[in-house]
Amino acid sequence: GDYPLELRRALDLLDYAGWRKRQPALRAQGRRVGLGIAGYLEAGGSVRPGEWATVKIDEHGHVEVLIGVSGSGQGHETVFAQVCAEYLGATFDDIRVRGGDTTLVPYGYGTGASRVAVNTGNAVAVAATAVKEKAVSVAAGLLECAPDDVRIEESRAFVVGAPARTIPLGQLARVALRERSLVEQGGPGLWATKFYAPPTVTWSSGVHAAVVEVDVETGRVAIVRYVIVHDCGRQLHPVIVDGQIVGGFAQGLGVVLGEHVVYGADGQLLTSTLMDYPLPRAADMPPLVMEHLHFTTDHNPLGVRGVGEGATGPPTAAIANAVADAFDGRLEIRSPVLTPDRVHALLREAGFAAPI
């Protein structure tokens, strides 16, 4: 990635120079406005040591993608169908993704550590490529041409430059069951199981920048503007990536707003219900300005990096930095939890607010 570019874009989108120019006038009006920045690297794609994927085409042309990981809202069924469609040449609607079942894939190494796109995504790509190579071999025989002249698009094979005559994938699958020439490619039939093991983790990166205003009388922190510049390499599904970034930010914001575990003097947990443990609500979310950079990695065929967790950590640091900046760095901020009560206590300690 280009870390200096990320910082420059974040500062431009925040209007950092403009806010710095306006700060003295705002201070003169008694308004405490501060700017905060937090850069980060996210190691994603934990090897563990990799993931399996199976791609198979039945005699009706239906494609199944079998994976070992389970989804919990990340869009596995959509994203891996897209990957399979790209590398196999099948239509998206012909593809079904199934996972989290040991009768389909005996073992999966888990959804977490921003690893699924890197591990399972590439396993699907490699398996789909293997199946396509087998389908191309069968199609070359039926179309009486060289394998290099065969194209597969929209679930049909044809000779390049002569798309009028096509053979559907279902027909190729039926012929492939008795095709002895496929023995050297893993055996007859249009299916393949592959294991992808990434050589190392991938590194996503980004910069968060915030403008906040602190009410000295109450300690309340208001987010005036918030910018996220992020690079996770190639985006398999931009809308899902946006959702991961917004959701990650919301988790980080929750800490600022008061998410923390509290125990009593007797060791009793005091924040055991959502009445006591505050989660961010829709009204707590500020408008976000987001920009994605696209520096693909050469550590895996898809060029993807992890995206699930990168946006969670920076909000606490960026907002804390902005609160400190609003008071010229004179607050002794020792915790990322910045509830009005805690902020007001910091203001009293630093002499900005009168004792209660």
User: For 305-318, what is the mean pLDDT?
Assistant: 94
pLDDT for the residue 1:
86
Do both 211 and 343 map to the same domain?
yes
Q: Is residue 75 part of a domain?
A: yes
User: For 66-94, what is the mean pLDDT?
Assistant: 96
Q: Is residue 355 part of a domain?
A: no
Q: Kindly indicate the confidence band of residue 72, based on its pLDDT and cuts at 50, 70 and 90.
A: confident
Do both 163 and 108 map to the same domain?
yes
d(CA 143, CA 150): 8
d(CA 75, CA 78): 5
Do both 186 and 274 map to the same domain?
no
pLDDT for the residue 356:
79
Whole domain around residue 228: which residue ranges? 3-44+202-350
The per-residue pLDDT of the chain, averaged, comes to: 96
Do both 209 and 343 map to the same domain?
yes
Residue type, 47: V
pLDDT for the residue 188:
96
User: For 264-272, what is the mean pLDDT?
Assistant: 96
Examine the pLDDT at 47 and tell me if it is beyond 80: no
Q: Tell me the per-residue pLDDT of 134-181, one tens digit each, with 9 for 90 and over.
A: 999 999 999 999 999 999 999 999 999 998 999 999 999 999 999 999
Q: Tell me the per-residue pLDDT of 199-240, one tens digit each, with 9 for 90 and over.
A: 999 999 999 999 999 999 999 999 999 999 999 999 999 999
pLDDT for the residue 73:
87
Q: What is the pTM of this model?
A: 0.92
Q: Is residue 246 part of a domain?
A: yes
Structure tokens at 102: 């040991």
Q: Tell me the per-residue pLDDT of 234-257, one tens digit each, with 9 for 90 and over.
A: 999 999 999 999 999 999 999 999
Do both 297 and 333 map to the same domain?
yes
Residue 239, φ and ψ in degrees, nearest 5? -65, -40
pLDDT for the residue 255:
97
Secondary structure of residue 82 in the 3-state scheme: helix
CATH classification of the domain holding 287: 3.30.365.10
pLDDT for the residue 81:
98
Total count of domains within the chain: 2
pLDDT for the residue 308:
85
Determine the number of helices (DSSP H) and then strands (DSSP E) in the chain: 8, 11
Residue 330, φ and ψ in degrees, nearest 5? -95, 0
